[in-house]
Structure 1
């Protein structure tokens, strides 16, 4: 497990899994948490059960759709199936929120007092669609009192995209143009950490913490869809203490 190093660790629980320590085999070796990737279901179930031992309660998961929808978790309204969305928000105590990634950027958010938390699936499509703005509007506290942690994702030397992706972000904000480096092939290398950090800053969140761990370059620790194609999924989870 990777634990965020940020100033709110005494107020919120948070972790990001690696690919190690689970029951899955082959391309999914070994701590795959994705039911939808072709792994043996009983092995994924075992991995979820193991993850549960680290959490105060059963996590709420998403059917991630690469859009801008945020699902608000209300302790008075039980969640009976995985919502279709790309971010989760709650102010309920001891309720873990989980998102899955295998190159996309996991973004965990917490208020300074620890009373509000969110987990965001920060793929380029959700980021371009405004998923961060839609998540932050759920917070009651001032944006300056929100802390962000950016987990493992495809790094700036590995994330090759086409000009249409560049255009989407540059049309949103011309400052995003500096988050892409053109290659001789006509493609661009994108820095998804910089994109998310820039968008958070524009929304008033400047306390951002990350080690910029690259999923593609570290095959020992991380699953990577871009690198391997058929592969497992990691989880990033956050909850109020």
Structure 2
């Protein structure tokens, strides 16, 4: 395992500093400095997007170097639902869910995104971690609350990290999306800005922040960069359609 990305990899793999000393390792990735060709250029980590399996394998091997050798990354078959897996042991087959939790130090939890919001959770001692695929549908179906329920620690002892996603000036949605969140709470109306055509710009970071705060989680950090507008740095499904996937990964370091 490398303590930090080397010069060739620093733009591909971005270390996440969490307030748990060295108890937890976490990274998020960009699209840069990988092995995949156009339109997956170049650090694509998703097998499901029709990229070369060989290239994705090389990219995943590169990512794995930043975690202990015995620590496998548990990937998910993400379906934009609200199910959460309590991962007890590694499965080479992706588990069907949109969030995962573990207190096992031999597991890393991975989330793939290309506009949706990656969310990582960790308790103060670094003994419990979770990774959440925060698309608007999972968020509207309370996937954050479903994940927090698995923590033995209390919400005030949990820190949340919010990663790059489609930003509040680029994520246009219809009235029905706004209404789904307003059914949860009128507070979510502040996360939507109406446009002249009657549609709305939605702020995923703000939606997640409000949900976390409602659960009692107020330690929130993140990287609020827009995947849609940062074309050189990030994949964006809404911008490009056929494209790759970034990853956000967290593991307990013992």
TM-score of the pair, normalised by structure 1: 0.97
Residues 1:53 and 2:86 are matched in the alignment? no
Q: CA deviation at 1:79?
A: 2.1
Alpha carbons 1:133, 1:203 under 8 Å: kept: yes
Displacement of 1:80 in angstroms is: 4.2
SS of 1:181 mapped into structure 2:
strand
Unaligned runs of 5+ in 1: none
Partner in structure 2 of residue 123 of structure 1: 135
State the alpha-carbon separation in 2 of the partners of residues 15 and 49 from structure 1.
14
Gaps of 5+ in 2: 1-12
Determine which of 44, 60, 68 is the counterpart of 2:82: 68
Matched with 1:235 is 247
1:177 to 166, 169, 189: 189
1:166 is matched with: 178
User: SS at the partner of 1:26?
Assistant: coil
Go from structure 1 to structure 2 and tell me whether the alpha carbon gap of 1:40 and 1:128 turns closer, same or farther (over 3 Å shift).
same
* Structure 2 equivalent of residue 154 of structure 1: 166
Tell me which of 23, 29, 38 is aligned to 1:17: 29
Counterpart of 1:101 (choices 107, 110, 113) is 113
**8 Å Cα contact 2:17-2:26 kept in structure 1:** no
Say whether 1:84 aligns with 2:96. yes
Aligned structure 1 segments of 4 or more residues deviating by more than 3 angstroms: none
Q: Deviations over 1:147-178 (max 9, x none)?
A: 00001100000000000000000111110011
In the TM superposition, what is the alpha-carbon distance from 1:41 to its structure 2 partner?
1.3
- Report the Cα offset of residue 62 of structure 1: 0.1
- Would the aligned equivalents of 2:192 and 2:201 in 1 still touch at CA under 8 Å? yes
Shift of 1:210: 1.5
Aligned to 1:132: 144
Contact 1:5–1:209 at 8 Å: present in 2 too? Answer: no
Give matches, 1:23-34, under 5 Å.
23-34=35-46
Aligned to 2:14: 2
Q: Secondary structure at the match of 2:59?
A: helix
1:195 shift after superposition: 0.1
CA RMSD of aligned residues (A): 1.0
Rounded to whole Å, the distance in 1 between the matches of 2:46 and 2:115 is: 14
Does structure 2 conserve the Cα–Cα contact (< 8 Å) formed by 1:102 and 1:234?
yes
TM-score by length of 2: 0.92
- Superposed CA deviations along residues 123-158 of structure 1, whole A, max 9, x for unmatched, are 000000110011000000010000000011000000
Separation of aligned partners in 1, 2:79 and 2:36: 25
Tell me the CA shift for residue 9 of structure 1.
4.6
